[in-house]
Structure 1
């Protein structure tokens, strides 16, 4: 969130997905519209759970994070991002300097030294380019040497695939016809209906960067293709909580047809 300069609204929406057990119960008990900003949410969370850290970390602690000779750029960026979360009010310049200081000698560090970034999201975008190059290079080398999938690993993978279903089981046998796209339904009701947060999933590498799911807030699949959101919407429909929305949509379509016939 910090490295990508996420908006205040995005931080508020994503934060509840990290909570479990007592914390999520506390969040669900908050009165509607009682949170005005991510800072407000942070203060209320800390006041409720009284989180204390043994030692307060400051920007200089980032200097201890190094990439390492055999560590990938992706793993370094992930460790650095986590370290930034432990530092309150971290200045952008000090974060960038700490990140550059920890890079090992290589193409990305040379690129950064030639053109010094001024924003964290700029660093992230440039890092993604070199991460992809690094991973593609490793895959190419592995395929040449024939070590990408040793025989034993292939046997294990084949057994795992046999044990796992090829397709995720359907939760419902029949789904309510919505007559509008899933994303339109979600956008319409997400501010009025209490929609449960998405289940935590491991982000898949190599997913499509052109398809974005508004429910999970990740790239890799579109909102209309989100299996879990479809089940959430179906549950609301079966509880009768979409009747008014669907009725309004039907009236709008009838009015639109009448207007078109009148023209």
Structure 2
């Protein structure tokens, strides 16, 4: 089904798939947009390649002629081929690997840690705090947080901000 979208076709406003994200999310996003546009099966088949980067188009172009019977068939082939890239489920112990580097500023560590814990679902506050403290390098914030254990994420953030501001003032 090596068909292309019509010239007057407007590509769905979404990120191009480049193999760095979960193909399931890309398909879901595409299907939602096509549903809202009330697009036919043939239109979905023609529009889908417009959501792929040039390097991923090589995969699409390699499909044998007449090997795709429907959009569901195309979606299944796409997902099967790129499923190796799907998101990996992360768990609380993965936070123990997030460590503040020797020369890393507290703000940078906090941002990196926050990004890591947002990727984990159903994480208890205590586990987040324990992971954060475990990853801190020895220093004023570590000493403060070790002496008086934080009771909430808000408490951690407020206390971290004080030490981040002190670090930034010293840098200036």
Q: TM-score under structure 1 normalisation?
A: 0.34
1: CA distance, partners of 2:116 / 2:128: 10
1: CA distance, partners of 2:109 / 2:86: 24
Root mean square deviation of aligned Cα: 2.5
Counterpart among 140, 147, 155 of residue 114 in structure 1:
147
Corresponding residue for 1:84?
117
1: CA distance, partners of 2:157 / 2:13: 33
Gaps (5+ residues) in structure 2?
1-11, 15-28, 37-78
Corresponding residue for 2:126?
93
Q: By how many angstroms is 1:121 displaced?
A: 1.1
Counterpart among 76, 82, 98 of residue 65 in structure 1:
98
Corresponding residue for 2:13?
21
Q: By how many angstroms is 1:101 displaced?
A: 0.3
2: CA distance, partners of 1:110 / 1:60: 23
Post-superposition Cα deviations, 1:122-166, rounded to whole Å, max 9, x if no partner, equal 101110110000010011xxxxxxxxxxxxxxxxxxxxxxxxxxx
2: CA distance, partners of 1:83 / 1:68: 15
Aligned pairs (5 A) from 1:37-186:
53-139=86-172
Between 1 and 2, higher relative CO (CA 8 Å, sep ≥ 6) is seen in 2
2: CA distance, partners of 1:126 / 1:21: 41
Gaps (5+ residues) in structure 1?
1-19, 30-49, 140-263
Post-superposition Cα deviations, 1:42-99, rounded to whole Å, max 9, x if no partner, equal xxxxxxxx99844210000000001111000000000001001110101110000000
Post-superposition Cα deviations, 1:189-216, rounded to whole Å, max 9, x if no partner, equal xxxxxxxxxxxxxxxxxxxxxxxxxxxx
Q: TM-score under structure 2 normalisation?
A: 0.52
Equivalences, count: 98
Distance 1:88 1:53, change over 3 A: farther
2: CA distance, partners of 1:53 / 1:119: 33
